[in-house]
Structure formats: C-alpha cells, structure tokens
Amino acid sequence: MGQLPEWTALAPVLILAVTGLVLLLIDSIDADTTNSALLAGVSTLGAAAALAATAWSLATGVGQDNGAILLFADALVVDGMSLFFTAIFTSVVVMVTIASYDYLHGHRHQGEFYSLVLFAASGMALMASANSLATVLVSLELASLPSYVLVAYLKQNRGSVEAGLKYFLIGALSAAVFTFGVSLVYAATGSLIFADVAEALSGGEFVGIAGLGVLMVAGGFAFKTASVPFHFWAPEAYEGAPAPVSAFLSSASKAAGFAVAFRVFVEAFPLATIPEGINWVLAFQILAVVTMTLGNFAAATQENVKRMLAYSSIGHAGYALIGLAALSAGGSANGNVLGASMAHLFVYGFMNTGAFLFIAMVERWGIGRTFEDYNGLATQAPVACVAMSVFMFSLAGLPPFGGFFSKYFLFFEAIENGFWWLAAIGALNSVLSLFYYSRVVRAMWFEDPSGPVELGSQPVGLYAALMLAAVGTVLLLPGFPPVIETAQTVAGTLFA
C-alpha cells in the first residue's frame, strides 16, 4: 500500500461515482437506448468492482493496520468501519442492479435509474467515511437526493409519485432539523471534525446548546434509519417505490444511516468524556425499544406484503439501534455490541434485499401485493418460494440461517454489556415477528391459489439476484465468523 497515494484508499467510493458518470455518458451517447443489458451490466460490474476493492482493502488491512487514513484535512476517514459498511452497500447494489435488469423491462429512462442508484451508493459510501459534520451533511444529501427521485421513478404510477413526494418532504424537514443540530453543536464546540468536537465537549461548556444539538442530530439519523419518530415516510416510500428501490433503501440506505450514527455518536460525542447532561444513550434506548416494538406490531397488522416488510424493516432498525443503546461509559463489551449491530446490518443487507427482490419478482409477474395474492405461489415457482422462505425465517431469526446468529450475537452482547432488558425486549419482538413472517410462508406453500395463476416469463436477472441473496443468507451462518470478527474488531477500534 505504501507506494500508492493515500487518496486511493477511497477507491470504492470513486469506483461507484465513476460508474455513475459512465452510465450518464452511455445514456447521453444514445439517449433513447433501452439496451438494459448494457446498462445493468455496467452498473453491476461497477458495484462488483467497488465491492472487490472494499474486500481487498479489508483483507489487506488498509486503514486498519497502521491506523485510520485521514484525508482532505480530516474531513474523510478510511478505516475498517467505513470499509465494512461499504461492503454492505456495494453487495446490496450488486443484487439490486442485477434484479433491475428485469424489473425495468420496458421502462424508459433506464440509464438515469442506474446512475442514480450508483450516485446514491457513492453518497452512502461517503457517509460511512465522513469524519466531519460537514461531510456528513453533504454525503447525506448525496445519498438522499437520488433516493427521492428513485422512489418516484414510476412516474405514471400515482403511488410511486406520492411516495416520492412524502419521502422528499419528510427528508427535507429532517435534513433541516439535522442541519440545525449540527449548527448548534458547532456553536457549542467551534468545530465540525469529530475528534475536535469530542475534545471541546469534554470541556463542559455550553452543555445546554450542545445537548439540544445532539438531540437534533439524533433526529436526523432517526429519519435516515427509519426509526421512530421519523419513520412515517418509510412504509409509504417502500410501498410506493419500485421494489428494487425499496430493497436498496431499506437495506443500504438504512445501513448508511447507522454507519454515520455509530461514528458520530461514538467519536464526536464519546460517552467517556461527554458532560453528564447529554445522556444520548437514554435517548437511543427509548428509540430502540419504541422502534422495534412499534415496527413489529404495525407489521403484524398489515394485509399488504410489501407494507409488512416495510414495517418489519422499521422493527429491524430497532434491533440495530441496540448497538448504540446498549453502550455505557467504559463498558467492557462496547465494541462487541456495536460490532454485533454492524454484523446484523450486514446479514440484513442480504436477507432484506432478497425479500424485497422477491416482491419485485411478484410485481413483475403482476400478481398482486396482499398475502392472499401470494396463495399457492409455491406450486408455480417453488425455487423462488424457497428463497423467500429462507429470507422470512432468517429475518425472524430462526436457524439455520444467517439471521439467527446475527440476532443472537446482538442480544447476547447486549446482555454481556449489562443490558439484559434490551435483549429481552428484542427477543420478545423477535418471537412476535415470526407470526407475520410465517404468514407469507403459509400463503405461498399452504394455501391453494384462489384462481388460475399464469406467471409468464422467468426473469433471469431477478432469479439470479434472488439466488445470490438466498445463498448469501444461508452461507452467512457457517460463514459468520469472519463477518462478526471483522465487525467487532473495527468497532473496537472506535472505543480504543
């Protein structure tokens, strides 16, 4: 690594951004192109290359062995954590772009679609690397703006447009809240770089202003991660958006929100030195409990599968929040809890993306969205239904799938760090979730189709993406050690 300039550590972000630009170029050469194979192929290759670069960096210890690499006057940082999260985003993007090849069949403006996905992904990768509140703001918007457009991509569809508008309005509001929070923190500390903020805060001046700022910053993250009380947009947006976009938003975008939240709160507002008046852990404990409970209860009452998944995605945000909620000043297992949360997001990237891609497939077949519409689907498409069953059971945390380990590690580490009640609430929610996840499985396998179902074509891309996600979900059980070890190691360095 020594011979390469330092900025090359940002290779994954750059690859994503350049691929987005290349797509625009292709599109501008032939504006009316519907050569979706070319567009999907280029985006998948770009995302895969970014994933490969990330994996290579993780494996060779870039930003980890010799300490984090700080770039551009400390505004960006490349370390194990940013790479770990970039791995999540890029693997989700690979699946989403493969699946979009079929989903977008016959739609116009495909070039724009793929380039927006890649721009959003580069924004997310930047979010994971942000080391200054200003960079957080910029990268957050870079990730959000394409997302608004993507949600409204089906512009002939009222639901899609309405969802995009809702998403945009709430996004704009929370961006304002977040920005105001940042400015308050700046007012109290005189800095935007995380480390300097932390140092200034430990002085104990302007605790009131800083506290308000921290709270508002937390609100901004609650929006991005679809946590209560800024979760209202999520069911609408996920339901209205094209299903691959829902997959992208609920897996990658959410993980990006957590990436920044983890780094900001652990590095800029460290528990060890922050004044006592700013007890953000309490805020996250409330957020975690309310988010997981509300998400799961709401999911249990849905009739529409896509909406159910949207609410369950809120529930999972609640689980991931345990990573922040179960921290304590000097807690012996702080790094392990945070790492377990990151590992859960990694597994979640596969199982949740897969679940939404299955819905994309169903939408492609034109079947319908309620549980009843899924009746008897297994007789028509057994392989896809096996994959969906894997996702459902994995999301519920049942063995032998990846979600089992990621959930149990999360709960177990929370107990280890002294928060057994958080783990207990999480486990109870998990049991509840089995109820609605198994409804999907039951509809697909047990019920007889209510009418003759003709599925038509077998979308190759969607099948490929679905299999990728399913195999990933299954293999993440035996293959969990490297994920959790990497996650806990890189999370541990934040507390060092």
Residues making contact with another protein (CB under 8 A): 333, 336, 378-379, 382, 386, 393, 398-400, 404-405, 408-409, 412-413, 415-416, 420, 427, 431, 434-435, 438, 441-442, 445-447, 477-478, 480-481, 484-485
| DSSP secondary structure, 146-214, as one string | HHHHHHT--TT-HHHHHHHHHHHHHHHHHHHHHHHHHHHHHHHHS--BHHHHHHHHHTT-SHHHHHHHH
Please return the burial class of 441, using the count of CB atoms within 10 Å of its CB with bins 0-12, 13-18 and 19+: buried
Radius of gyration of the chain measured on its C-alpha atoms: 21
> Between 358 and 411, whose beta carbon lies closer to another protein?
411
> Between 168 and 409, whose beta carbon lies closer to another protein?
409
Report the interhelical angle of 305-325 vs 334-365 (nearest 10°).
170
Please return the burial class of 427, using the count of CB atoms within 10 Å of its CB with bins 0-12, 13-18 and 19+: middle
Q: How far apart are CA 249 and CA 9, in angstroms?
A: 26
State the nearest-atom distance from the C-beta of 98 to another protein, in Å. 22
Closest among 346, 370, 357, 322 to 473, alpha carbons compared: 346
Quick check: 133 and 264 in contact, CB under 8 A? yes
Torsion over CA of 82, 88, 90 and 93, rounded to 10 degrees? -140
> Between 358 and 437, whose beta carbon lies closer to another protein?
437
> Between 119 and 411, whose beta carbon lies closer to another protein?
411
State the nearest-atom distance from the C-beta of 379 to another protein, in Å. 7
State the nearest-atom distance from the C-beta of 460 to another protein, in Å. 18
Quick check: 477 and 400 in contact, CB under 8 A? yes
Q: How far apart are CA 98 and CA 94, in angstroms?
A: 6
State the nearest-atom distance from the C-beta of 390 to another protein, in Å. 10
Q: Which two tokens stand for residue 105?
A: 């069949």
Q: Cα dihedral sign for 228, 232, 237, 238?
A: positive
> Between 229 and 482, whose beta carbon lies closer to another protein?
482
> Between 230 and 445, whose beta carbon lies closer to another protein?
445
What phi and psi, each to the nearest 5 degrees, are found at residue 478? -65, -30
State the nearest-atom distance from the C-beta of 258 to another protein, in Å. 21
State the nearest-atom distance from the C-beta of 242 to another protein, in Å. 31
> Between 202 and 438, whose beta carbon lies closer to another protein?
438
State the nearest-atom distance from the C-beta of 410 to another protein, in Å. 11
> Between 176 and 431, whose beta carbon lies closer to another protein?
431
> Between 313 and 430, whose beta carbon lies closer to another protein?
430
Distances (CA, A) of 186 to 183, 233, 258: 5, 29, 22
> Between 247 and 355, whose beta carbon lies closer to another protein?
355
3 state SS of 386: helix
State the nearest-atom distance from the C-beta of 466 to another protein, in Å. 16
Q: How far apart are CA 53 and CA 82, in angstroms?
A: 13
Quick check: 100 and 35 in contact, CB under 8 A? no
Q: Which amino acid is at 470?
A: A
Count the Cβ atoms, other than its own, within 10 Å of residue 53: 23
> Between 363 and 416, whose beta carbon lies closer to another protein?
416
State the nearest-atom distance from the C-beta of 445 to another protein, in Å. 5
> Between 56 and 420, whose beta carbon lies closer to another protein?
420
Cis, bond preceding 229 (omega within 30 deg of 0): yes
Residue whose structure tokens are 């605790």? 207
State the nearest-atom distance from the C-beta of 117 to another protein, in Å. 33
State the nearest-atom distance from the C-beta of 85 to another protein, in Å. 21
State the nearest-atom distance from the C-beta of 89 to another protein, in Å. 24
Q: Which two tokens stand for residue 218?
A: 């937390």
Q: How far apart are CA 79 and CA 122, in angstroms?
A: 16
